[in-house]
Homo-oligomer: A and B are copies of this chain.
Amino acid sequence: METIKNAIGRLVPTEINGEKQIPFQGVGKYKPEGFIHAPKISSNVDFPLDGNKKVASLKDALIKAGLKDGMTISTHHHFRNGDLIANQIFDIAKELGVKNLRWFPSASFPCHEHLIQYLEDGTINRIEGSMNGALGRFCSEGKMKGIAVLRSHGGRYQAVQDGEVKIDIAVIGAACADSFGNANGLYGQSASGLLGFALADSEYAKKVIVVTDNMVAFPCIPWQIQGNHVDFTVEMDKVGIPEQIVSGTTEITKSPDRLLLAEMTAQFCDVTGIIKDGFSFQTGAGGTSLSVSEYFGEIMRERGIKARFARGGSNKYLVKMLEEGLIEYILDGQTFDLDGVRSMAENKNHVWTSPFTSYNYHSKGNFAGIVDVVILGATEVDVNFNANVVTHSDGYLLHGIGGWQNCLFSKTVILPIPLFRDRIPVIIDEVTTICGPGELIDVIVTERGIAINPLRTDLIEKAKNSNLPIKTIHELKEEAEKICGVPKKPELTDEIIAVIKWVDGTIIDSVYKVKQ
């Protein structure tokens, strides 16, 4: 495989899976030349005039959609680990003897371990999307036939919009739909809140199938997915496992270390004037992030101020703040629990968004840059503030990018992370995989000190006279090494098994097969 050194010094392939690639050229340096992907013009002539597009089964729909060798099949991950659709699609493909498919999920979950057999027998050539757990291990061990491609949520929208990934068949599971194909994630046993991750698929895929276990009479309101994009609808008993759809991660951390990180993060935001009337913030779904918003709430109550909006993933803590009036709007990308779903269904100020509105880098702006402060995680950070979210210190590919890269465009990016995990330092000389360039990462908050990116002289100035433990990133690294020793590099081969796309479709880094 031919490689080239990109603008951040990483070797990346010039071609993967038979397609030419563009190496990362620096933040804001690459500008696309082409035109948005243009689907073939449809005509009402080819669709039932009464709007009823229902077919007997998912198998029927896939056959009618022309499922065949080499196609790209997309799914969304709003059902998370409770998804019952993706596995069925490939069971059907196997049954029909179809081979060499590209699975293009917006994310995969442990429940999709079922698909390893199809990666092995050639039904599926490769996955382009996050690979957690068993699938990540399978890929990291070099067992996947094609090269995996990981994209951020915004990057996935960009890739579809730009025609970089042409979806042949999109299968969109929905908690609620009508026979015309209007669908939402709000009502029914498989409620997932919203369906934004399937938006690009519905707009640009050649064929679109909506599958639901709650078919209502037209019109299904709201139509988060518009039936005008849909070819076939399918009703089945169960599209998801409710207990697994709402994630278990939305509990505030009880770990004193993490609570300390969260508190320090909130204090930093207070001291530097980020928390002010009308500000905006985004915190992830992890325990530390959740705690940060709780601390934000305390400060806001104390000061008598409110936030104009919070960007989601939403959860019961954020919903409580909305209902208390501490936040005017939640702009939600995915609901993590049932309180989120309820609030989105009831409250006009709890607004569903999509990777298009929030994250697409190839549009006339998006929401990410408007957010005042975003609190994110990382598996590793290096002394240049570059961060990794996909591979672990042992080199295994175990996480997706999610909206992480997209959020880096917010006005201030803070990563509260422990200085070490399992006695392995998190701040190191060079991250295993670069997912985000250091120039976009402003602050690292650890239990033993806070490092501010030297580029952010404004923040350094503002934090100077606080009683917060401001240190350099090198000091933090040395402190970690004093306690844990210098960490070993992961043992990797030089075989590229996956690439990490930047938000503009260029390749920012490669992921290598681990030595076993």
- Name the one of B38, B217, B409 contacting A38, with C-beta atoms under 8 angstroms: B38
Report whether A50 and B369 are in contact in the complex, using a CB–CB cutoff of 8 Å.
yes
Bound CA span A45–B28, Å: 6
Bound CA span A125–B361, Å: 37
Report whether A349 and B221 are in contact in the complex, using a CB–CB cutoff of 8 Å.
yes
User: A189 near B: Cβ within 8 Å?
Assistant: no
Report whether B31 and A331 are in contact in the complex, using a CB–CB cutoff of 8 Å.
no
Tell me the residues in window 352-402 of chain A with beta carbons closer than 8 Å to chain B beta carbons.
Answer: 356-357, 360-367, 369-370
Give the nearest-CB partner of A41 in chain B.
B32
Size bracket, chain A contacts:
35 or more
Bound CA span A228–B331, Å: 15
Bound CA span A369–B115, Å: 41
Report whether A366 and B39 are in contact in the complex, using a CB–CB cutoff of 8 Å.
no
Report whether A31 and B43 are in contact in the complex, using a CB–CB cutoff of 8 Å.
yes
> Please, which residues of chain B bring their CB within 8 A of the CB of A208?
364
Annotate A224-236 by CB proximity to B: 1 below 8 A, 0 otherwise: 0011111100000
Report whether A223 and B357 are in contact in the complex, using a CB–CB cutoff of 8 Å.
yes
Report whether A365 and B504 are in contact in the complex, using a CB–CB cutoff of 8 Å.
no
Tell me the residues in window 10-68 of chain A with beta carbons closer than 8 Å to chain B beta carbons.
Answer: 28, 31-51, 53
Bound CA span A337–B120, Å: 62
- Given the known inter-chain contacts A218-B308, A329-B221, please indicate yes or no for A180 contacting B365, CB distance below 8 A: yes
Bound CA span A37–B366, Å: 22
> Which of A40, A44, A361 is packed against the most chain B CB atoms within 10 Å?
A44
- Given the known inter-chain contacts A39-B35, A278-B217, please indicate yes or no for A47 contacting B223, CB distance below 8 A: no
User: A411 near B: Cβ within 8 Å?
Assistant: yes
Bound CA span A217–B372, Å: 14
> Please, which residues of chain B bring their CB within 8 A of the CB of A35?
38-41
- Name the one of B180, B217, B278, B366 contacting A308, with C-beta atoms under 8 angstroms: B217
Bound CA span A356–B34, Å: 25
Report whether A369 and B49 are in contact in the complex, using a CB–CB cutoff of 8 Å.
yes
Give the nearest-CB partner of A278 in chain B.
B217
- Name the one of B38, B228, B361 contacting A364, with C-beta atoms under 8 angstroms: B228
User: A485 near B: Cβ within 8 Å?
Assistant: no
Q: Across chains A and B, which 9 residue pairs bring their CB atoms closest together, nearest first?
A: A38-B38, A35-B38, A47-B365, A51-B370, A49-B369, A32-B41, A228-B363, A36-B38, A28-B45
- Please list 27 pairs of residues, one from A and one from B, whose beta carbons are closer than 8 Å in the complex, sorted by A's number: A28-B44, A33-B41, A35-B38, A35-B41, A36-B41, A37-B38, A41-B162, A44-B365, A44-B369, A44-B409, A46-B364, A47-B364, A47-B365, A49-B369, A50-B369, A218-B309, A218-B370, A219-B309, A221-B329, A221-B348, A221-B349, A222-B351, A226-B357, A228-B363, A228-B365, A229-B363, A231-B364
